[in-house]
Amino acid sequence: MKKIIIICLLLLTIGCAKKSISVDKFKSTVRSEGYYVISTEEQFSQYKYIESSLMARKDGVGIEFYIMTDEENTKAFYDYNKDIIEAHKTKYDTYKETKTKYVLETDEKYMVISYIKNTCIYVDTDIKNKDKVNSIIKKLGY
């Protein structure tokens, strides 16, 4: 009986693992929500570990999407940007952190960095856009 429970839990965990998305999936998801998408690859051309980079914009919200060469570089990119976000944190602000996602909410800002495998999203926007950001992040699966 214990073996069956363990196997079921293992299968459930594997089945619930988040999956990274492609450039096309990012574009189609954000465009279906009214965002326009621009390439930011020229801005990051000196960084050889960034294979693709896009920015989705709508009503003052910008969602950055990156595809890296590998998971190690993605994790380093995440850690670097998490440090930048944390620099805005005071003892009065709220934050949530998991192994692959960091969210900071201040009186004025809402910032998110999240990664799955070799992909990463980054958002730095006004607090008033929190619900919009959470909605699109959920649709993207991050």
Domain limits of the chain?
Answer: 18-140
Q: Taking 70 as the threshold, does the pLDDT of residue 25 lie above it? A: yes
Q: Taking 80 as the threshold, does the pLDDT of residue 7 lie above it? A: no
Say yes or no: domain 18-140 is CATH 1.10.10: no
Q: Is the pTM of the predicted complex or chain greater than 0.95?
A: no
Would you state the pLDDT for residue 18? 81
Give the model confidence (pLDDT) of 76-130 as tens digits: 999 999 999 999 999 999 999 999 999 999 999 999 999 999 999 999 999 999 9
Q: Which long-range contacts (CB under 8 A, 24 or more apart) does 26-33 make?
A: 26/54, 26/56, 26/65, 26/140, 27/54, 29/136, 29/139, 29/140, 30/56, 30/58, 30/63, 30/136, 30/140, 33/58, 33/135, 33/136, 33/139
Reported as a pLDDT band with limits 50, 70 and 90, residue 9 is very low
